[in-house]
Amino acid sequence: MTVNKLNEAFAAAGAAAWGGLPFSELAEEMTAEAIEKAEALCPGPRTVLVAAFPYYAGESGGNLSLYARGRDYHQVITRRLNTICNFLLQKYKNCRFLPGTDNSPLPERQGAWRCGIGLRGKNGLVILPPYGSYVFLGTILTDARLDLPPRIPSPGCAGCGKCQAACPGGALGAEGVDPGRCLSALTQRKGVLTEREQALIKAHPLIWGCDTCQQVCPHNAAPALSPLPEFRTELTASLTAEDLAGLTNRDFREKYGDRAFAWRGPAPLRRNLELQG
């Protein structure tokens, strides 16, 4: 399989950039448990392919993070990666090709950076001009040995510090990202929150996710719009208490199951709306 053919396959799937690396190299970024899970999914893994898919649809009012307004990226990216898997299976008929996006043991961002996709943002995100950091990442894990294009690991961003200064939860520091203080993660957390956590959500404009570190990033001053229709049309920008009133978990999944904010069910969304009300 030539690099040109792979370029065509990824472009046809809607990827803005892609790269690949040996699984053994990516394993350096993984825990023993993650390696074990990957090897259970794909015995004898040899290669990891990583791709970036833009999702920016423009700025507009709303209380949901920009990434969650279009179709559920897990479903969209997996479907698009499957077209590449099917293409590769035509040549490597006895090999496994397993797509994943934010739901596999593979560290997607580290894989992207090792492949040279974009820049390493201080906020822990992949920055891919002209789309900025508004990209989803997907991977393909395979036991095939592929001829991969030359690569140079991604450089860091300019380090202006704007994302670190603006982070509402103080999650961005010299040591990297502290998930326990990330407001995006906090809005998705189930159960009882501390007074500090409740205050953060009360002062936050969103009930799901957080776009602050991206909005202040100079690389996101004028990002290009996504060419992918799943992330550009039929957007859900906001939810109200009335939208969620009376919905059982099953009702909620039937109504919003094709959205990325649906995986936790309605409880965190209702709680966050109450805190902000």
What residues contact residue 186 under an 8 Å CB cut-off, 6+ apart? Answer: 169, 193, 197, 200, 201
Angle between helices 195-202 and 267-276 (to 10 degrees): 70
- Interhelix angle 73-89/3-12, nearest 10 degrees: 150
**Catalytic residue (one of 72, 102, 211, 251):** 102
Does the active-site annotation cover 72? Answer: no
Cα separation, 131 vs 232, in Å, equals: 14
Tokens of 120: 């390493």
E-state strands within the chain = 17-22, 47-54, 97-100, 119-120, 126-127, 135-142, 172-173, 176-177
Active site residues: 102
